[in-house]
Every structure is written in C-alpha cells, then in structure tokens.
Amino acid sequence: MPSGSDSRGPNKNSGAKSAKAIKAANKNSRPAKKGKGGVPAPRQIPWLSIGAGVAVLALIAVLGINLWPKVEERQALEPYKYSSENKDPSDKIDGVLKIEYPAGQHVDSTQRVAYDQTPPFGGPHDATWANCTGTVYADPIRTENAV
C-alpha cells in the first residue's frame, strides 16, 4: 500500500462538500410558480413596457410628421436667403423685373407720366407720396403719387 496523502479511496469531506454545494444551489434558484392544480402559471405579458414603447414611437411619428414639412420649407427657401454670397435673393425669383431709373425725377401735380408698366414701379414721380397707412381714398389717386 502506498504511503502518503495520495489515496484514492472514498473521502468523508467530499460528500459533505457536495451536499453543501447542492444546498447552496437550491437556495439561489427559485422554483417555478405554480398555478392552480400544479400547472405552471402562464407568462405575464409586459403591457406597461409595450404601451410605453408604442407611446414613444407614436410621439416620434407625430414630431416627424409635424417637423418634416418645416425642414423641407426651410430647405426650399434657402436660395432666397440673404447672405454675403447672395446679395440680392430676388434675382432667383422668376418674373422679377429690374430696371434702373435715375433718382430724383420729380414732377409737379399738373404733370402726367406715361408709365410703360402696370402697376408702375419706378421712374418720374410726384414729390408727395400717397398716404398708405390704411387710408381709403374715395377716388383713385394719381399714379405719380403711388410710385
């Protein structure tokens, strides 16, 4: 018989250790919930979490639907925004007519001017402007007062 501690026979401590390990494992694990009659209870559906998720998705959808047209509108208006490179945004608007007229061409109240655009927007005009702050005139005003 060999001497020393290398005996391969049954050990009293190994049975005690395995019993302790089984007991500790059973302590940490919970038994399955039983319903009526020993049948396990069905899993509960997390309705609160599902409802919260749906509410968040709905909020994101509503915000996206309301904000996206504003983003598109802002992008569409970008060419017409004043900047250091775009000094006159009206140049990009179709149909805008620009004509340079000399300044200070005033006529008196007895003179009439034959304008070549309707409504007239430049050229000789009366030195006195029409009152455009909400005044309603009974008769048409002279075109020269409105230019």
Q: What is the pLDDT of residues 75-101, one digit of tens each?
A: 988 888 888 888 888 888 888 888 888
Residue 50 belongs to some domain of the structure: yes
**Under a CB-based contact definition with an 8 Å cutoff, are residues 79 and 89 in contact?**
yes
Statement: residue 32 has pLDDT above 60: no
Residue 22 belongs to some domain of the structure: no
How many Å is the maximal CA-CA distance in the chain? Answer: 144
Indicate the SS3 state at residue 117.
coil
pLDDT tens column, 121-147: 888 888 888 888 888 889 988 888 888
Q: Which of 69, 121, 62 shows the shortest CA–CA distance to 97?
A: 121
**What's the number of domains the chain is made of?**
2
Residue 147 belongs to some domain of the structure: yes
Mean pLDDT of the chain: 81
The domain in which residue 54 lies consists of 46-92
pTM for the full predicted model: 0.37
State mean pLDDT over 90-114.
Answer: 86
82 and 108 share a domain?
A: no
